[in-house]
A and B are shown apart, each in its own frame.
Chain A
């Protein structure tokens, strides 16, 4: 009698065509030009970075486009010390939540050119973009953020975004 089957492999893979939509297309075309795009809610006036097209507070379209500067503030961060499969960046490295100047929503970005033990809330940073010929409709157009050398931002200025 043959051995009972105790395990089986059933490989599965699904492929998708992603639809960014109107709003995210504007963001992606901004990244292609090396510019961060914000979208302002007509009701609460908040400016969302990487918006999917609606204000999550008011549920209305964020139609107004705002070009945002290259600079922002680290609101919080995480130092990655754990190696994992497929890791592309040498550890330790820093992931920060970055609030661009004039925006009301932070997003996650890689922070470089600062020792991991010197990262702090309130650090002022700027985006470093890839070479102009390498820019594309992707967040990979931003190589990383680095300190600007300005004095740290006052906690009061970003405490709403933690």
Chain B
């Protein structure tokens, strides 16, 4: 045991002590959601030698719109096995927000550990149509705007404001996919120059294929443990020293898409700038969004950005944010980093954002 870091958020140190994720694939056609989750839950417990009986709370993130079936999150609990009955909750959001709920409960002090998991598939339905339904039902959703077109509006606004160029987007994508070569769970990884990427055709101008996230089926799980329990299960826990999430207006036209005030505020509340950042795992599904996030979080040129490849390497719906927290924790466990930032987003054009600061002692 080596003590606990100073906390910006909360007053009870809670550490990320285990992380597992499914292979990220374009289409997982053989297994249903429960069958996908079972090995991931077994791995996240097995990594630290515990069972479901060692966690006092279970929280998951998913959305039934992806599966096309009601109460799929209830059925997914079969992957854990919940007998005797146990405290459980679910958010219709990325698993990063499920982790936030578990962190809040751990702050209250009644439990010492929690399982967080998330699952989602991009393959069963038409993702562009499904994501259109998260927009306001009167003015936007009836137009069925797809997420790539909305992101392209954002990217074009950045170009028009003189904040970035298409070459900047290509540079982000080239670096992320090159980093992804070192990530065995990456779905898209390659070593190509930004110049080469700029020869691609537009998908939706000004976004070319390289600036888009892959369509991914996957799932992920994390175990949180508080206080001394974190050290029982992990040699060097990644303690959550700051965590906060903020949202922006639902109406896209009411926002300045070139900046992310919600990320900026969440980053301030989570204390990102209180000390140096070694690694930042950013949930930027579209390449240009990384530039917005780096600016909002005030990350300098010395910060290692998304060494996993980020959401450009694999973008499992509902899990890509939780995976950022897992990846930001892993580099602390290994000793490669002491202080990391994980970010998760939800909604179109970075509408809602969560920032989590992790520190090892």
Contacts and interface: CB of A to CB of B under 8 A. Distances in A.
Interface of A: 8, 10, 12, 14-24, 52-61
B38 A19 contact: no
B41 A24 contact: no
B67 A59 contact: no
* Most-contacted residue by chain B among A8, A21, A24 (CB, 10 A): A21
A14 B125 contact: yes
B87 interface: no
B86 to A, nearest CB: 11
Contacts of A55: 78, 81
Contacts of A8: 138, 142
Contact of A15 (B31, B38, B125, B138): B125
For this complex, into which size category does the number of interface residues on chain B fall?
Answer: 20 to 34
B81 A57 contact: yes
B35 A22 contact: yes
Contacts of B78: 52, 54-56, 59
A54 B42 CA distance: 12
A53 B81 contact: no
Contacts, number: 86
Interface in B102-149: 121, 123-126, 129-130, 133, 137-138, 141-142
B68 A54 contact: no
A66 B289 CA distance: 52
A8 B39 CA distance: 46
A18 B68 contact: yes
A44 B28 CA distance: 29
Interface in B51-107: 52, 65, 67-68, 75, 77-83
A16 B124 contact: yes
A143 B29 CA distance: 29
Nearest to A58: B81
A23 B32 CA distance: 9
Nearest to A55: B81
A59 B141 contact: no
Contacts of A56: 77-78, 81-83
User: 5 shortest A-B CB distances, which residue pairs?
Assistant: A59-B81, A21-B32, A16-B68, A57-B83, A56-B78
B41 A59 contact: yes
Contacts of B138: 8, 10
A82 B159 CA distance: 61
B181 to A, nearest CB: 30
B125 A19 contact: no
A16 B67 contact: yes
B142 A59 contact: no
Contact of B68 (A14, A21, A23, A58): A14
B29 A19 contact: yes
A22 B32 CA distance: 7
21 contacts: A8-B142, A14-B126, A14-B130, A14-B133, A15-B126, A16-B68, A16-B124, A17-B125, A18-B68, A19-B124, A20-B32, A21-B31, A52-B35, A53-B31, A53-B34, A53-B38, A54-B34, A54-B38, A54-B79, A55-B78, A57-B82
Given A14-B126, A57-B83, A58-B81, A52 B28 contact: no
Contacts of B142: 8, 10
Contact of B35 (A15, A17, A53): A53
Contacts of B38: 53-54, 59-61
A137 B75 CA distance: 21
Interface string B10-39: 000000000000000000111110110010
